[in-house]
Amino acid sequence: FLTPATVLGKTLVVTHSKHDVLAFDRETGEPVWRFRVPAEVDLRTVDLAGELLLIFGAKHTLALQASTGTVAWQTHEQGELYSRPYLRENLLVGVRRQPFNVTFRQLGSGQLLERLHLPDLSSVSRDPILQNLGVNFPSHASLSVACQGDLLVLATANDYLAVDLGKREVRWRRPIDNNDWFTGPIRFYLHEPYLLVLKHDFEAPALYLLDSRTGTVLWRKKNQAVVHSIRFDEQGKTFIGVSPIEPTKPELAVIRFDSASGNELSRWSSGPSKDTLDATLIGTVSDGKVVLRVVSGETIELAVLDLTASSVTTRVSGRCVGVYGAHGGKAALVQGGHLILMNPDQIQVLVAKEGQP
């Protein structure tokens, strides 16, 4: 879960290899500052919290003044980083493994406020849909974890585990539905009071809606009705997902659903394609509008889809080399209305213009 770049005002902060954090002026490309990560810190990801740039290593956390690159605080952690840490008001929440625990730190100082010990969590990172289609994109590898508001959701070998961040305790724990003798890949998509769970019911792909307050199952979809790479709207009343692409018939479809009932509301389709497409939703612009990233060969395309009108409103693309999502390969992200395309030796910042490719 290494973050290749992040934007702070007019500054673009880039992680280069696992030892350098570089800051550039976003408009001119001129260097602003450079921070050399200590040798003992195995860099995993970075994040912004106000004026702090947080650097997370396997067993370390550092906070830099984002405008200057100077160290504000640093600490050694118990256990390796399990997932991206989460920010909640003036709180930094981290999930660690070996030993498995959740830490609550004061954001401004790094002071440890509390540690919640957990049972062993799932280590399966395969995508529950793409793996059965014979597709293996590194960018889709992810552990079974989600966080929104006051709730952190995790999975053990046999159970779902919901942690209340406000109370710093387990809210509920229940067995995984239709679980095989070993835990398969699971994806959580969370917007309280809704928790979508994408998994396999033995051999069949399935999508469940759970009540995030209690863990109760509200509805279930199976097989061709399942979507992945899901995004909720701002209120959580609808969600949008990508329909699985069959390798023998590559056609990209993005579908919008009503959250409470699971009923389909609208869809957009790209039509048949000759290439194998790596498609995923990477952001929400507004209700009914999402950012779709499609990687095909050496081309990355980002499109803003309006599912209320089943149309594309904005599209930008660029050429990159290497394997998307692999270390040293290509990467892309959207921040502040900018599309950032990254190669091992080049950074491109593009501005999407409404209605133009």
Query: How does pLDDT run across 62-114, given as a tens digit for each residue?
Result: 999 888 889 999 999 998 999 989 998 889 999 999 999 999 999 999 999 99
pLDDT score of 331: 65
Rg from Cα positions in the chain: 20
| 239 phi and psi angles, rounded to 5 deg | -140, 155
pLDDT score of 354: 44
Residues 45-58: tens digit of each pLDDT = 888 888 888 989 88
pLDDT score of 356: 38
pLDDT score of 135: 55
Residues 82, 176, 240: CA angle, nearest 5 degrees:
75
Specify the amino acid at residue 159.
Answer: D
Residues 195/152, Cβ–Cβ less than 8 Å: no
Q: Is the overall model pTM greater than 0.85, yes or no?
A: no
Residues 153/146, Cβ–Cβ less than 8 Å: yes
Identify which of 25, 23, 29, 31 has the alpha carbon closest to the alpha carbon of residue 10: 25
pLDDT score of 244: 85
Taking phi first (over 0 means left), then psi (-120 to 50 degrees means alpha), and beta for anything else, what does residue 218 get? alpha
Q: Which residue numbers in the chain have pLDDT < 50? A: 1-2, 353-357
CB 234: neighbour CB atoms within 10 A? 10
The partner residues of 20 in beta bridges, in order of sequence, read 16, 36
